[in-house]
Amino acid sequence: MERIRAAVIGTGFIGPAHIEALKRIGGVDVVAVASVEPDKAKEIADEFSISKVYSDWTEVVADGDVQVIHNCTPNNLHYQVNRAAIVAGKHIVSEKPLTLNSRESAELVRLAKAKGVVNAIDFNYRFYPLIQQAREMVRRGELGKIFLVHGHYLQDWLFYETDWNWRVDAKVGGASRAVADIGSHWCDLTQFVTGLRVESVFAELVTVHKRRTKPAHAIETFRERNSGSDGRSKQVAVNTEDMGIVILKFDNGTRGVFTVSQVSAGRKNYQSFEIDGSAKSISWNQEEPNQMWVGYREKANEILLKDPSLMNSGARKYAHYPGGHPEGYPDGLKNFLGNVYEFIRSKRNPVKERPEFPTFEDGHFEMKLVEAVLKSNKTKKWVSV
């Protein structure tokens, strides 16, 4: 097997998750890690036996030993890093959002096509085994005509006024927070399963905490809370949304709605959807990813467990363990990256062949969707994507 050399830029929550997943898929050598926090980068390099540590992401781009770059930086750096990697002729895997606006994301799509590099964006929830099963069920017509798509993505890690993260700052995280950060996952996931595309939106966004307490030091995502009592914290105005409700119209006329929140106490990463069809309904919850509810009118409902022997052939390859052996978030990320590296290793052309994984085109569409949501919230009107 040809080995592929990769580098990861960024050492927050998601950077080490990428490294761990790469170690699991085989045939990949993570040769470098970069971070503006050298001590953190050195710690991760030691943990995963990575030989090179950089404090400047441009050094990774210039490293001739690196073939693939994983962009796990804060949102305001996504465009710069992605563009530099493409120009350097390196394959690129980016965290979302792809950029901070659709003008930049459109440029990246054009540039990636011109350079012919493999490009991917981390909508990893697509690669849970039962998500693949749900998509196969829709494809085969098992749900019948789709009537309604509904659900939510709820978290509580920004519940308190003292909770802080760089995503709160629009200059770093972008004009949208809850919708762009987690609502984008829900929209991508439901579009992937149904095969439908969001055509227009009507949105109401709310900022619960108009001011938050910003600490003097950086807060690690999901793992650290700001007490607000260190004496150097300061109150800052907030103009990104804590929560929102978005009504959707899909391209075939089907309607949908989802609620997104980062201030729902007790909800850690509660992403859930239901798809109601003329034959049956299905529902899935990310916090209980190894079971899917199947609803009927004329008979008892069912619970489908993640079990390769019970799944459709197209979904079976994403379930690597027998029934009763749970697979979750790290496995979805591994499945996603496995697809990306298989594509790279086979030297397939991303311009001529549509990959099975989400690409920068998907990231560009999500940017347009987020911008439509922001415009709808401002104008109080339906807005086309």
Q: What is the pLDDT of residues 12-49, one digit of tens each?
A: 999 999 999 999 998 999 999 999 999 999 999 999 99
Alpha carbons within 13 angstroms on the beta-carbon side of residue 136 total 16
Q: Are 247 and 255 in contact (CB under 8 A)?
A: yes
Secondary-structure class of domain 129-320 per CATH = alpha beta
Task: State residue 219's pLDDT score.
Answer: 67
- For the whole model, what pTM was predicted? 0.95
Residue 211 has φ and ψ, to the nearest 5°, of -135, 145
Is the domain defined by 4-125+335-358 classed in CATH 3.40.50.720? Answer: yes
How distant is the alpha carbon of residue 90 from its chain centre? 21
Task: State residue 216's pLDDT score.
Answer: 81
pLDDT tens string 320-370:
999 999 999 999 999 999 999 999 999 999 999 999 999 999 999 999 999
pLDDT tens string 80-129:
999 999 999 999 999 999 999 999 999 999 999 999 999 999 999 999 99
> What residue spans define the domains of the chain?
4-125+335-358, 129-320
Q: Are 2 and 345 in contact (CB under 8 A)?
A: yes
Cis peptide leading into residue 16 (ω within 30°): no
346 three-class SS: coil
Distance CA 148, CA 60 (A): 46
Task: Quote the tokens at residue 92.
Answer: 């690129």
Task: State residue 232's pLDDT score.
Answer: 74
Range 139-158 average pLDDT: 98
Distance CA 190, CA 197 (A): 9
